[in-house]
Structure 1
Amino acid sequence: MIEVYIDGASAGDPGPSGAGVFIKGNGIVEKYSFPLGEMSNHEAEYYSLLKGLEICIEKGYTVVSFRTDSQLVDRAIEKEYVKNKTYAPLLQQALDYSKKLDLFFLKWIPSSQNKVADQLAREAIIRNKE
């Protein structure tokens, strides 16, 4: 099984944002850092999930376990529902992507266990200025 650690970060809310994706398992270790432009921290968290799912689909990783320190994203995926309708299209896109995989899990983890993805997201914030 492939483990995918994701994190979104913003310098301000909204502000320059980034997404980090760290993939490991089955001899694979991959790191991705995506500048996202101006958005809220919650939007960046959703985009990190979408980027992670896109990578898995593109690379043919079909049995994946995602890890996030965002309780908002974790709950939204679990319930397939968001209160804030701003995030509804992002949630729907993530659910659609997840259905393209044979097995998809998303688990909440504390920030202390998500340091690599966090660092990648923070690097992406800086790259917004390039």
Structure 2
Amino acid sequence: MIELYTDGASRGNPGPGGYGTILRWKHHVKEITAGYRKTTNNRMELLAVIVGLEAVTKPGIPITVFSDSKYVVDAVEKRWVFGWQKKGFKGKANADLWSRFLRIYAKHNVKFVWVKGHAGHPENERCDELAVASALSPHLLIDEGFESGINNPG
């Protein structure tokens, strides 16, 4: 089983943001992180999961995602995202990322576990460190989906 730990951060909402992801499989550990000049916390929480799943090259291996984001965990575990998809994500923020998530999610055997943020969980704390450091980096990427305004109704 692969363990995937994730966290997102935003300095202002919207504002500069970043994500941190840790993949653990047997004795292998990989950290992935990036920062964006203008985004939201929810986008970074979701992007952390997406990037982690995309880094797993073998389909079918059970993956447990540990996230402190109720937005992400509940959307998947309570199956809301599948209803949003059927309605073409009409009126839903982050449609670009949810569509990307569903494409990679379909290739894996994924289970979500919610963890309390900022509660001393070592991997969650490390992901938070990665996300915040990336948000503060001088080399920030452009979150095209957010900055274009297409995926953020209202």
Counterpart residue number, 1:43: 43
- Structure 1 or 2: more strand by fraction: 1
User: 1:80 and 1:42 mapped to 2: Cα distance?
Assistant: 15
Check if 1:97 corresponds to 2:107.
Answer: no
Secondary structure of the 2:94 match is helix
User: 2:76 and 2:99 mapped to 1: Cα distance?
Assistant: 9
User: 1:90 and 1:52 mapped to 2: Cα distance?
Assistant: 13
Secondary structure of the 2:136 match is helix
**Which residue identity does 1:47 align to in structure 2?**
L
Deviation at 1:73, TM superposition (A): 0.5
Aligned pairs (5 A) from 1:71-110? 71-78=70-77, 79-81=79-81, 85-101=92-108, 103-110=109-116
Counterpart residue number, 2:150: none
Counterpart residue number, 2:62: 63
User: 1:74 and 1:91 mapped to 2: Cα distance?
Assistant: 12
- Structure 1 or 2: more helix by fraction: 1
Give deviations 1:61-105, integer Å, cap 9, x for gaps. 63211110000110111224269601233223212211111x211
User: 1:117 and 1:13 mapped to 2: Cα distance?
Assistant: 19
Larger radius of gyration, structure 1 or 2?
2
Q: Which TM-score applies when normalising by structure 1?
A: 0.87
Q: Name stretches of at least 5 consecutive residues in structure 2 with no aligned partner.
A: 140-154
Counterpart residue number, 1:12: 12
Output the aligned Cα RMSD. 1.8
Q: Which TM-score applies when normalising by structure 2?
A: 0.74
Identical-residue share of aligned pairs (%):
28
Secondary structure of the 1:85 match is coil
Q: Name stretches of at least 5 consecutive residues in structure 1 with no aligned partner.
A: none
